[in-house]
Amino acid sequence: MRITRTRGVVAAGLVVSVGALTLAGCSTTETPSDDSTDMAIGSIDLAAAGCPADIKIQTDWNPEAEHGHLYALLGDQYTIDATNKSVTGPLMASGEYTGVDVTILSGGPAVGLGQPNSQLYADDSIFMAYVGTDEAIAHSVDLPTVGVFQPLEKDPQMIMWDPETYPDVKTIADLGSKDVTIRVFPGGVYIDYFVGAGVLSADEIDSTYDGTPAVFVSEGGKIAQQGFASAEPYIYENEVPEWGKPVAYQLINDAGFPKYAAMVSVRPDDVTKYADCLKLLVPVMQQAEVDYYDGTLKDATNALILELVDQYDTGWVYSQGVADYSFDTQLKDGIVANGPDDTLGNFDADRVKSLFDIVEPIYTAQGIAIADGLTPEDLYTNEFVDPSIGL
């Protein structure tokens, strides 16, 4: 879950949320200049490959730069549905029309904070959804999915702290050794792992985090807090005046929890049913990500993301500064990167097995049923990834 920064007021030196995230009650659209059916299809024909006429993709949060690889699939012709928090337009591959549309569905407050895999099963018209490796395991019985492309090499989830208060702390393990209270959202399996592995102790964990900066600010740096490396460090230094200074952090991935955070996933039967489609679509998604992060599509895509945040009007705040910081930090911290074989978007078998081995006993202890006979290989496939495409 991302930071829940709503448009609010400042009182008594603290940032105070204005309350619940309220969805917009009316639709605002940007009308395409031409109907996509009048566009010439380029060298990649997804319609002929049997792809859905409208490829609907469910994200996990409001539009943000971490989703840039998806929004880069859209050209300059699109329609915004502000009521349903989605954007639809011709699906483009390096500037050429592919014969189908793409609809990118906002997550988080747009779906009552529901999980993307739940939306995938609730709405048959949704073709793909973001699913974390741990979520795929936990829901292998009721909401099984198979990852076909992973856009984030590292989970941007992190634990942050005040480097002035704790100058000797360099890692999450250092926080544990110093008995620092760490505020987190409840239910994070990575925290269960860190406690079980002895990295942190149970009495250090405060599961009352609500996504706002108020407590972190009021504690004056005495506590640590979860967040996203691609957002909060910039926000706290530049957009929370009551703090207004740097924070230090470590990614949970670098601390030993090797989760793929946003596997672009389909229902298991669709791996076979839409194999011809996925064989063409996944490389298009890979190339769109390359085009975004090499800067070719950065400015246009970030402008679209900011426009969508404004039009959706959920109360969530996302600025140009955060978008630019996110873009740079994802590359700097290896959140977006090629895998060990120089391919963007494929899955590392050993890494998936490592995460599987970490969470399986935790879920068993928590009474979460895992599908009988489930193996790490059931969670993903690399068959559609083009190994020649990388950053």
- Please compute the mean of the pLDDT values over residues 52-64 and round it to a whole number: 97
**Does residue 256 have a pLDDT over 90?**
yes
> pLDDT: is 28 or 120 the higher one?
120
* DSSP labels, 192-212: HHHHHTTSS-GGGEE----S-
Of 23-37, 160-174, 230-244, 303-317, least confident by mean pLDDT is 23-37
How far, in Å, CA of 300 to CA of 74, rounded?
A: 10
**pLDDT tens, position by position, 39-52:** 999 999 999 999 99
Could you give the percent of the chain with pLDDT greater than 90? Answer: 87
- Please compute the mean of the pLDDT values over residues 129-133 and round it to a whole number: 98
Task: Tell me if residue 125 falls in helix, strand or coil.
Answer: coil
What domains appear along the chain, each with residue ranges and CATH number? 36-154+259-379 (3.40.190.10), 156-251 (3.40.190.10)
Task: Tell me if residue 120 falls in helix, strand or coil.
Answer: helix
**pLDDT tens, position by position, 92-114:** 999 999 999 999 999 998 888 88
CA-atom Rg of the chain in angstroms = 21
Identify whether the C-beta of residue 246 lies closer than 8 Å to the C-beta of residue 221: no
pLDDT at 51: 98
> pLDDT: is 71 or 21 the higher one?
71
How far, in Å, CA of 377 to CA of 263, rounded?
A: 14
**Does residue 6 have a pLDDT over 80?**
no
pLDDT at 113: 82
- Please compute the mean of the pLDDT values over residues 109-138 and round it to a whole number: 95
Band (35; pLDDT cuts 50, 70, 90): low
* DSSP labels, 331-371: HHTTSS---TTS-SS---HHHHHHHHHHHHHHHHHHT----
- Please compute the mean of the pLDDT values over residues 161-180 and round it to a whole number: 97
**Mean pLDDT, all residues of the chain:** 91
- Please compute the mean of the pLDDT values over residues 146-151 and round it to a whole number: 98
pLDDT at 20: 31
How far, in Å, CA of 30 to CA of 33, rounded?
A: 9
Of 15-29, 44-58, 203-217, least confident by mean pLDDT is 15-29
- Please compute the mean of the pLDDT values over residues 370-387 and round it to a whole number: 98
Identify whether the C-beta of residue 115 lies closer than 8 Å to the C-beta of residue 219: no
- Please compute the mean of the pLDDT values over residues 155-170 and round it to a whole number: 98
pLDDT at 38: 82
pLDDT at 29: 46
How far, in Å, CA of 122 to CA of 125, rounded?
A: 9
Residue length of the chain: 391
- E strands present in the chain: 9-11, 14-16, 54-58, 79-81, 86-93, 96-105, 126-131, 146-149, 157-161, 182-183, 205-206, 224-228, 248-251, 263-266
Band (268; pLDDT cuts 50, 70, 90): very high
- Other CB atoms within a 10 A radius of the CB of residue 121 amount to 16
**Does residue 3 have a pLDDT over 90?**
no
Token couple for 246:
């740097």
Q: Environment class of residue 307 by beta-carbon count within 10 Å: exposed (0-12), middle (13-18) or buried (19+)? A: middle
User: What angle, 0 to 180 degrees and rounded to 10, lies between the N-to-C axes of helices 349-366 and 189-196?
Assistant: 90
Of 4-8, 229-233, 272-276, 298-302, least confident by mean pLDDT is 4-8
Identify whether the C-beta of residue 263 lies closer than 8 Å to the C-beta of residue 133: yes
**Does residue 352 have a pLDDT over 50?**
yes
How far, in Å, CA of 71 to CA of 189, rounded?
A: 29
Of 15-29, 72-86, 354-368, least confident by mean pLDDT is 15-29
Q: Is the pTM of this model over 0.85?
A: yes
pLDDT at 13: 32
pLDDT at 248: 98
Band (66; pLDDT cuts 50, 70, 90): very high
**Does residue 80 have a pLDDT over 60?**
yes
